[in-house]
Amino acid sequence: MPASQPPLAPGPAVLEVRDLCRSYGELQAVDRVSFQVGPREIVGLLGPNGAGKTTTINMVLGVLQPTSGSIRIGSLDLASRRSQAMERTNFAAVYAPLPGNLTVRQNLRVFGMIYGVERLAPRIDEVLELFELGGLGDTRCGVLSSGEQTRVCLAKAMLNRPHLLLLDEPTASLDPATARDIRRVIRDFADQGPGGVLWTSHNMHEVEAVCDRVLFLSRGRILLEGNPRTLPEEHGKASLEDLFVAVAREPLTLEGVEA
C-alpha cells in the first residue's frame, strides 16, 4: 500500500475492516485487507474480476465468515452482534433481485418489516418517489425490466435509512441518464449523513463522479488507495481507467508498490 494515506472523513468510522482474510483451501481470496469508511464518505472498492471485491462485501454482510480478521459496523463487532449490525446496514446488487412473484410495494413492505422500519407505509411512498417507481408499486417485480428491477433494489436498500450502504455494481443495468440520477441520489444520501457507502464498479467515469476515495484490490490485497481524481497522476497514468488496466494486467509495475 502507499506510504501515505488520505485523511478519513471526520467522525467515528461507519465501517472498519482490520486484517480481513478469506481462504478456500490454498487459495487466498482476501488477504489481510484493512480499510475504513467514514461518515458522509463514498469509498470505491475497485479491481478486476476475481480481485476479492464481492467476497469482501459478502463478509461485511455476514454472508461469508472471515478466515481471520475483524469487521465493525459503527461500534458493533459483526462477529458477536451481527443482528444489530445488520439493522443499520443495507445492500443492492444487480445479481440479487427481489422476489419476482411479489409486487414492488409488497417486497418493500416485507423488507421494511424485517428491518423494523417505523412508519413503514409513508416511508415506502418516499422511496418509490425517490427512485421514480410510483407508477409501478402494484406491478410484480418479475415482469419489470432489468433497469426497473435495479431501481426497486436500490429503493429497498434505502428503506431503513442505513448507516452503511453496500452497493455492488448498482448502475450496471441502467441507461446513462438513469445512472446519473441514481448517482445523485446516493451522493445526496452520503452528503446528508451520518451514513457512508462502499461502492464497487467497473465504470471509472462513475467512480470519478461519485467516490471520495478508492481502494484498488489485486489478488485479494489492497494495492493502491487515494483520491480517484489525483491517484492516476501519482502513478504515472493519464486516467483512472488506465490505472485500472495497470492494476489488472501489471500490478507489480506500479510505483511505490511492493512486490
Q: Phi/psi zone of residue 108: left (φ > 0), alpha (ψ -120 to 50 degrees), beta?
A: alpha
The three three-digit cell numbers of residue 214, written as one number: 478508492
Q: Is 226 helix (H, G, I), strand (E, B) or coil?
A: strand
Query: What is the value of pTM for the model shown?
Result: 0.89
Q: What is the pLDDT of residue 258?
A: 44
Q: What angle do CA 195, 200, 204 make, to 5 degrees?
A: 115
Q: What is the pLDDT of residue 252?
A: 59
Mean pLDDT, residues 182-203 taken together: 93
Mean pLDDT, residues 209-231 taken together: 95
Q: What is the pLDDT of residue 24?
A: 92
| pLDDT at position 251 over 90 | no
Count other Cβ atoms within 10 Å, centred on residue 163: 20
Mean pLDDT, residues 27-43 taken together: 95
Q: Is 145 helix (H, G, I), strand (E, B) or coil?
A: coil
Distance (Å, rounded) from C-alpha 210 to C-alpha 208?
6
pLDDT in tens, 71-123: 999 999 999 999 999 999 999 988 888 999 999 999 999 999 999 999 999 99
Q: What is the pLDDT of residue 43?
A: 98
Output DSSP code: residue 253.
G
Q: CATH for 12-88+164-259, among 3.40.50.300, 1.10.4080.10, 3.40.309.10, 1.10.260.40?
A: 3.40.50.300
Distance (Å, rounded) from C-alpha 161 to C-alpha 87?
10
Residues of the chain with CATH 3.40.50.300: 12-88+164-259
Return mean pLDDT, the chain. Answer: 90
Return the sign of the alpha-carbon dihedral for residues 189, 165, 243, 174: negative
| pLDDT at position 222 over 80 | yes
